Amino acid sequence: MTRKAAITGIGVVLPDTNTVSELWDRQLVGGNAIRPLSERLWGSSVDEARADGCIPPRLANKLDAFTRYAMVAAQRAIDDAGLPMDKIDRERCGVFVGNAFGGWRFTETELRNLHCDGPRAVSPFQATSWFPAAPQGQITIHYGIKGFSKTYMADRASSLVSVAAAARMIESGKIDVAIAGGTESTNTDFVRTALESISLAEPGNHASDGTGFTVSEGAVFLILEDVERAARRGAGVYARIGAFAMANAPCETDGYGSDPDALVRTMRGALGGREPTLVMPDACGLSAADRAEAEALRQVCAEAPQVVPKRKYGHSFGAEGALDIAYASLMLNRQRILPKADLRTGPVVLEPERARIDSVLINGCATGGAACSLLLTARGV
């Protein structure tokens, strides 16, 4: 019997967005959350006052923001799925996390303490707060999860990889349930300086209209379950996880590829000869990378409409792929195509287009020339 993974829950911690309904409704009005972050970077940041949830204050003080975002988003996904954590087999539940930077907010403070006051001024929790697998560890500890779990670092494709990996573990029979997604905290001088140093901001493009390379942060987590298991417990299904493919067309290690070959291969691999109803492109925002993706799309699925809802926020790196999956899942579930809102205008209300949506193809890219594509299908397809 072939097992399939279904998405039954969505949880978000994003700039100006903390619920599934807000996630959808943000796309139905003009304007965006993007503001100047530094002289050369534009983007959006999370309001931490609204990112409250399951974390005791004493524990929260030991964690970096990216771990706190992940824990809150994971709890929101569990609640959205109606998943009874006290009744699941925790040895058959896993946690899969995508992240790019780790915990630089916590680290930046402790490095200043080290420089100004010496080693004894550094928090002992620095050792456990900074590394990219910290959210995976904290989520598994919090819920007592003992199944196969893993953290993936693949730049802006990180959580596209983590969700695909979680689906494969369910399909293989190693686990029945997964908490999968990604998280990122970019609201720190260290991260912004690093991003500026690799020339992600092109001259003259300040991204106030959602174009160009814009930076965001937050967390998006999904609950994945074996389709038959979800049906037995009466869970609602947003979408099903289809095929996934990865490839590489090597380029500079700190740049995005200008060769369409990798995306051509991943899209063909994920589609298997089919035509998607919709495409959610990587939409890097840098000229050479965008030209390469446009050419890849022309070669593989030129007729499919494209939607880019993440441009309202900017690139959230570790959380980016999961955000695309969340939007694709909502469109598949509601059978509505999100409108292309004018990001420069005020609150003009727009209507999503009713359509039959059988599948959505999602692209993701990483520095060094890596690319991946994931296909999502409607629950009845």
Q: Which three-class secondary structure string do you get for the chain?
A: CCCCEEEEEEEEEECCECCHHHHHHHHHCCCCCCEECCCCCEECCCCHHHCCCCCCHHHHCCCCHHHHHHHHHHHHHHHHHCCCCCCCCHHHEEEEEECCCCCHHHHHHHHHHHHHHCHHHCCCCHHHHCCCCHHHHHHHHHHCCCCCCEEECCHHHHHHHHHHHHHHHHHHCCCCEEEEEEEECCCCHHHHHHHHHCCCCCCCCCCCCCCCCCECCEEEEEEEEEHHHHHHCCCCCCEEEEEEEEEECCCCCCCCCCCCHHHHHHHHHHHCCCCCCEEECCCCCCHHHHHHHHHHHHHHHCCCCECCHHHHCCECHHHHHHHHHHHHHHHHHHCEECCCCCCCCCCCCCCCEECCCCEEEEEEEECCCEEEEEEEECCCC
| Distance, CA of 190 to CA of 196 (rounded, Å) | 10
List pLDDT tens digits, range 208-243.
555 688 999 999 999 999 999 999 999 999 999 999
The predicted model gives 90-107 an average pLDDT of: 96
| Distance, CA of 53 to CA of 63 (rounded, Å) | 14
The predicted model gives 161-165 an average pLDDT of: 99
Count of the separate structural domains present in the chain: 1
List pLDDT tens digits, range 318-327.
999 999 999 9
Task: Say yes or no to pLDDT of 345 above 50.
Answer: no
Q: Does residue 294 fall inside a structural domain?
A: no
Cβ distance 41 to 362 under 8 Å? no
Q: Does residue 145 fall inside a structural domain?
A: yes
Task: Say yes or no to pLDDT of 112 above 60.
Answer: yes
240 φ, ψ (degrees, to nearest 5): -115, 150
In one-letter notation, the amino acid at residue 234 is G
CATH assignment of the domain containing 183: 3.40.47.10
Q: Which residue has the tokens 């999602």?
A: 362
Q: Classify residue 44 by burial, with Cβ atoms within 10 Å: 0-12, 13-18, 19+.
A: buried
Q: Does residue 143 fall inside a structural domain?
A: yes
Q: Does residue 323 fall inside a structural domain?
A: no
Its domain, for residue 14, covers 5-232
Q: Does residue 42 fall inside a structural domain?
A: yes
Q: Does residue 329 fall inside a structural domain?
A: no
Q: Does residue 52 fall inside a structural domain?
A: yes
In the chain, % of residues over pLDDT 90: 78
Q: Does residue 314 fall inside a structural domain?
A: no
- Can you read off the two tokens belonging to residue 331? 């469109």
List pLDDT tens digits, range 138-160.
999 999 999 999 999 999 999 99
